[in-house]
Each structure stands twice: as structure tokens, then as C-alpha cells.
Chains A and B, each alone.
Chain A
Amino acid sequence: MLKPRKTHHYIRQALKNDCLRAAVGKATDLAVRKRQDLVNETPYWEDLRHHVHHLKSKVLENPEQSLMTFEARCIANGINVHWAEDAAEARQIIVDLAAQKKVKKIVKSKSLTTEEIELNPALEKAGLETWETDLGEYIVQLEGKTPSHLTMPALHLSRYDIGRLFEKKLGIEYTDNPNELLQVARQRLREHFLSADMGISGVNFAAVEEGAFVVIENEANAHLSISIPKIHVAIMGLEKLIPSLSDLPYFLKVLAPSATGQKASSYVNIIGGPQQHLMEEGPEEVHLVILDNGRSNILADASLRETLFCIRCGACLNICPVFRQVGGHAYGWAYMGPIGATLIPLYNGLSEGRYAPFLSSLCGACFDNCPMRIQIPKHLLTLRNRIAESGKTMLIERVGMKIWSMLAVRPRLYRFITGLAAIVQQLIPFDKAFPAPGYVRHRALGRMDSKGFRSRFMDSEDRREGGR
């Protein structure tokens, strides 16, 4: 997690980086356009959004019962279920499993939950050779950074950056041809798929009724990761539940357009136990780690529990005017964009995540685009209030708001002070505004002697009166 004071530094860097903003703009524009085309083709899209929201509410209405049923059905299907209170415990479960099974090499498919618990450094520290196999994740692993988008991990890199990275890290001749770069990754990773002892994946959905879970992807890397090694470990946040696999089509129908602008994702893997007894191939053991890491506290919070309905599609990122300017790294954690701005303080505490909810213009586009109908702007406001009430804001902001609120309830004093400021303003030469370092770097501060809201409002009222 990025330290709060570094957030400003990252944002400033991002705003100066025209290449980053162009790359983010290009990718998100395309995703927004493709999503919108598919939504337009689906006249019952709004009904779908309502329905998947309802299904998620239903399954999380009684989370204890849903999880106990899910666990029992998983065990009946031959899945080993583990529970982890927090990130450290989840990491330890996986590291211990690897040691117990004498695992040397691990292939991983894309999983935001493993990013959340910072699994890779723990595996590497334990001496386990670990390979990300999703192309974007493989690129950021080679770069030594973290993903900058929920579904497009290497969004911040151009093909030229990736060409130079492959040249340096893989010792190949420089190329910026995307197809050639992919062929290099495909060849390298194919060797790892065939020789890995363990495959690790995330979970997109977990079906209570059947005790099965779903892993969705486009590259086929997830299938290869979970079907060739003898051990499959999946990690899921406890909120990933859906009532039943018969409800899955509704989620699939909203996920693919929202995530990648596709009608359907290329591969939907449903895992209901080790496949050895069915096909003499695939994992002999399937382990599922159910992670809390603060989720049960969020579920207990009636006004914010809806944030756990997120299916990590990234649609809110693509449409967000703030994300499009600063990119994903500025948020400083595994989750970014509007939904990340709500999850960061919820998972990491109001103090650590105090800037995140302010990385939003509250324009509401995130809600309009969210396939799960999560009221993100409302949750951001709730969090902003809590952060302000907890006193985790900057001193200057607290003092400023105190002065303003004192004036706002005293209209005469307010008029007197602003009138005084207008007179002082006229003394500043060259029609300049008041000096406000920082504030005016990316925006203009209006002149105090210009016609303000109050007098404009009064004028319009007078005009209306006169018109009657």
C-alpha cells in the first residue's frame, strides 16, 4: 500500500506524463466504446443490472449460512477449504502447502486477490519460482511493478517500453511488434506450464449451491495453470459468492461487456473438484483459500457493504475522468479507480486510505457504468464524511472548513468578509487573483471582486419577479 503522503507525488508524476495519459486515454476510450455498443444491443440491460444486484444481495443477506453451505458442498466435491483471517495468514497457508507438497515451480493466472495479499513476494521469499502467466501480468512482473488497471495490467506501458523490457530482462533482440513480443512470452511460459508443480488462480464467482467456483479469462493461461500442474490453489474473497451456477449466465452476460467489451469471455472454467477422477488429467488436489482480510467488517457496515458486490470488471475505471488522467498506480494499491477509491480506506483503514475517496469528481459515470449497480458516488461521499469526522484531513483544510462553516451561518458577516476581500482584491495589480500556491497549479481561482453566485442569483430572482 502506497503511503498517503506519496499519493500526491504519484499524482503529480502521472499528470506530467503525457505518454501515460495518452495510453490510458486510448485504452479506456476503446473499452468504453465497445461496452456501450454491447449495452445498446441489449434492451434489457437495466433489468440485468437490477437482477445481478439482487442475486448478490440475496447471497450476502446471510453470509454465514451461505459460506457454511458453500464450504460443505466444496468438501463434498473433494475441494480442500482453508480460511484466512488476513493477508499474512493467506500467504502462509499457500507457502506451507507448497512446502508440504515439495513444490518448486508455480504458475499463476491473473488474480487481484493475490495482488491484494502481496502473494508473489512471499512465494519468492520462500524460494519458490513463481511465474505470472497472463501476458499483462507477466510484463509487470518483469518490470517489477504492480498492475495499473483491474483488467489491463500493463496499461501504463507502450509497446516500445515492453520491447525494451523484454530486451533487457529476457535477453532477446529488441522488437516493438506486439505479435513478436507475445510469441516470446508464449514460448517461455509454455515451458513453465508444462513443468510447474502448482497452479494458483483467483476466483471470479463461487456458487453456493454446487460448491464450485469459476475462473474467467481470455488467454487460456488460467486453464493451463489449473489443469496441468498436479495441485491447484485458488484464493477468493469471501464476498465472491453467488447463489447457484444457474445464476451464472446473468453475471457472465454483464461481466464480459463491462470488462473487455466482449460479448463473452474466451474461457469460462468451472471447477467443482479435482478432475483426475474424471479425465485422468488435471490437478490431483484442489485447495481453496477463503479470505476475509476486512471483508466481514465491511459486510457489517450497512451503508457500505454494497461495495463488496464488485465483480472487478474495471468499467468504472474506464469511464472515470480522474482515473483517465492519473492512471492506476496513483491509487497506490491493488484496487484502483472509483471502486478502488472506496475499497482502499475500507480495507486499509481511514488513515492509510484517507486520500483515495477524494480521487473522484463525483460525476456519477461510475454508477451508470457499473454492471452491479453499486452506488459508488454515494459510498465515496460516506467515506469522505467519515474521514473528515475522524480528523484525518490536512490541518489547512480543517481550519479552512471551520472558518467557512462559521461564516456560512452568519450571512451578514459572510457578506462583510467577502466584500472586504473584493476591495483588497482591487489592490492587486494586473488583474491577478489572490495568490493560492498549489490550488492554482491546475485550475483558476476566481476574482473576489467578480460577480459572485449570490449577486447573480439575486439578479436572476429580480428578473423572474420582473417578468411576472
Chain B
Amino acid sequence: MNAREQILGRLKAISMTDPISTYDDGLKHRLDAAWDGSFPDESRRLAGLFADALEAVSGEFYSAASVEEAAEIVGRIAHSSDYNAIVVDGGDMADNIALRVTDTLQVIAIPEAAQRSEVLADIHCSMVEAHWGVAETASLAFPYIHAVSTQPHFLAETVIAILKRDRLLAHLGALFNHLSPEEMKNLVLVTGPSRTADIEKILILGAHGPKRLIVILLD
């Protein structure tokens, strides 16, 4: 008998008939209502919550009324950090913004798979497109089925994420209600820049991933 059969055989013999905890069936309903109820419906207020939550995790927030304004913000960020190149993850909006910054920045498309990691490891700034945003935690959702690569999200020192305002949801529960089964099972959720507090609990940004995460909320 192999390990699988042995383990499952033991588990079959011990399948529980007595529930461990007593559970009030109305609890989930109450819980969901309380979680939902603590958020406003109005998108502008959600944006404010998102901005606050992002700043609390050392992220930076911008709001742009148009693609042109977003491009101007990207240009300003690049200029202030002396970046002369930006990698774009292939999302339509990010590509659109990138088209408008080509006079000041070298725009680099996702490299071929074979050289991707090596090339991206030397790039300081990337622009990526988030599929959903979560106001409560300032999380960004990147389902892999909509992505060309996740490496720009992780290897660059500064990541600029573009999020459409109508893609902003209240909380994590709402996010998972919106994701399709295919989207949710291959996904990365990003909340703020990479961080560590492993040395005397002193918070340092940019542990192995980006030091800066900038979100531009686009109308």
C-alpha cells in the first residue's frame, strides 16, 4: 500500500460525525452584512478609503481624470527619480499611457520569456495594470489569465500600477465575489511595496520586490 492509500485509509476510518463546534447558521449572513455595511457605495468615497489604506502601507496614491493626466504623472515620477526607461506589462491602459511618455522615457515591452528575468532585473521602473482594486486594504488583484507577465510587478524598484476607478471594490470579500473561478485560482494580490521587519522589527521597504508602489486611479 502506498502513502496515499495508507493516509486516506486512516482518514476514512476517522471521518468525523460529531461537529467540533456549534455554529449559528445566521452568523455568516450577519458577518457578511457587517463587513459590507462598513463601506460606502459611492465610488469617490471608496477612492478616499483606498488612498488612506495605501498610504498606511507606504504606497503612493494619485488620481487622474484622463490618460493624458496619468501620462503626465508617470513622466513626473520618472523625472524626479532620474528614470529614463520604463517597462510596461502589456495591459491596454498601461500601453495607452506609455504611448504618451515616449518623448521623455524609453518604453520597453515585456521581453521574450528566455531573457525576461535578466532584462527586467536591471530595470528600475515598471508600469502595470491592475485588474481590480480593494479599498479596505489598498490591495491590487492581478489574475494571471489577464497578464503577460508578473515579473514587472516584482523585479522593478518602482512599480506604477494603473487602476480604473470602476474597478475599485470595497473589500476582499467583494473582490472574491467578482472574480471568476479561473481568475481566482491563478492570481496575485499586491498590497503596498515589498517589506520586511525581520531585523529588530524595524520596517524596511523593498525587501526583495519594489521599494515604491504608486497607484494611479484613472477615471
The answer on a CB contact under 8 Å between B199 and A299 is no
Binds B, one of A1-9, A197-205, A274-282, A406-414: A274-282
Task: Bin chain A's interface residue count.
Answer: 35 or more
Q: Which one, B8, B19, B208, contacts A221 given CB within 8 A?
A: B208
The answer on a CB contact under 8 Å between B56 and A263 is yes
Q: How many A-B residue pairs have CB under 8 A?
A: 255
Among A23, A77, A190, A250, the most chain B Cβ lie within 10 Å of the Cβ of A250
The answer on a CB contact under 8 Å between B208 and A270 is no
Query: Residue A390 at the B interface, CB < 8 A?
Result: no
The answer on a CB contact under 8 Å between B2 and A133 is no
Which chain B residue lies CB-closest to A137? B198
Q: Which one, B28, B57, B172, contacts A252 given CB within 8 A?
A: B172
Which chain B residue lies CB-closest to A246? B176
The answer on a CB contact under 8 Å between B208 and A219 is yes
Query: Residue B148 at the A interface, CB < 8 A?
Result: yes
The answer on a CB contact under 8 Å between A60 and B16 is yes
Q: Which one, A262, A265, A272, A281, contacts B151 given CB within 8 A?
A: A281
Chain B hits for A60, CB < 8 A:
16, 20
Q: How many residues of B contact A (CB 8 A)?
A: 79
The answer on a CB contact under 8 Å between A189 and B208 is yes
The answer on a CB contact under 8 Å between B23 and A50 is yes
The answer on a CB contact under 8 Å between B196 and A218 is yes
Name the distance in Å between A154's Cβ and chain B's nearest Cβ. Answer: 5
Which chain B residue lies CB-closest to A90? B3
Query: Residue A401 at the B interface, CB < 8 A?
Result: no
Query: Residue A418 at the B interface, CB < 8 A?
Result: no
The answer on a CB contact under 8 Å between A219 and B185 is no
The answer on a CB contact under 8 Å between B14 and A85 is no
The answer on a CB contact under 8 Å between A280 and B113 is yes
Name the distance in Å between B56's Cβ and chain A's nearest Cβ. Answer: 7
Query: Residue A194 at the B interface, CB < 8 A?
Result: yes
The answer on a CB contact under 8 Å between A296 and B10 is yes
Query: Residue A91 at the B interface, CB < 8 A?
Result: no
The answer on a CB contact under 8 Å between A279 and B147 is yes
A186 to B204 alpha-carbon distance, docked (Å): 12
The answer on a CB contact under 8 Å between B14 and A272 is no
Chain A hits for B200, CB < 8 A:
23, 26-27, 158-159, 178
Query: Residue A57 at the B interface, CB < 8 A?
Result: yes
Binds A, one of B63-71, B95-103, B187-195: B187-195
Chain A hits for B138, CB < 8 A:
264
The answer on a CB contact under 8 Å between A57 and B150 is no
A194 to B11 alpha-carbon distance, docked (Å): 41
Given contacts A136-B198, A245-B185, A249-B175, contact A278 B18 (CB under 8 A): no
Given contacts A264-B139, A270-B187, A273-B186, contact A182 B12 (CB under 8 A): no
Given contacts A44-B35, A190-B208, A281-B151, contact A266 B192 (CB under 8 A): yes
As a 0/1 sequence over residues 164 to 180 of chain A, the CB contacts with chain B under 8 angstroms (1 = contact) are: 00000000000000110
Binds B, one of A63-71, A115-123, A343-351, A436-444: A63-71
State the A residues within 8 Å of B (CB). Answer: 23, 26-27, 30-31, 43-44, 47-48, 50-51, 53-54, 57, 60-65, 67-68, 77, 83-85, 89, 133-136, 139, 152-154, 158-159, 162, 178-179, 181-182, 186, 189-190, 193-194, 207, 210-212, 218-221, 223-224, 227-228, 238, 245-246, 248-250, 252-253, 260, 262-273, 275, 278-282, 290, 292, 296-297, 299-300, 302, 305-306, 373
State the B residues within 8 Å of A (CB). Answer: 2-4, 6-8, 10-16, 18-21, 23-24, 27-28, 30-31, 34-35, 38, 53, 56-57, 113, 116-118, 121, 136-139, 144-145, 147-151, 154-155, 171-173, 175-177, 181, 184-202, 204, 206-210
- Excluding A159-B202, A227-B154, A263-B56, 15 further A-B contacts by CB distance (< 8 Å) are A26-B201, A44-B34, A62-B15, A218-B196, A220-B154, A220-B194, A224-B208, A248-B176, A267-B194, A270-B187, A275-B144, A278-B144, A281-B151, A300-B14, A305-B16
The 9 listed contacts between A and B (C-beta, < 8 Å) are A83-B3, A186-B208, A212-B185, A246-B184, A249-B171, A266-B57, A266-B191, A267-B209, A270-B185
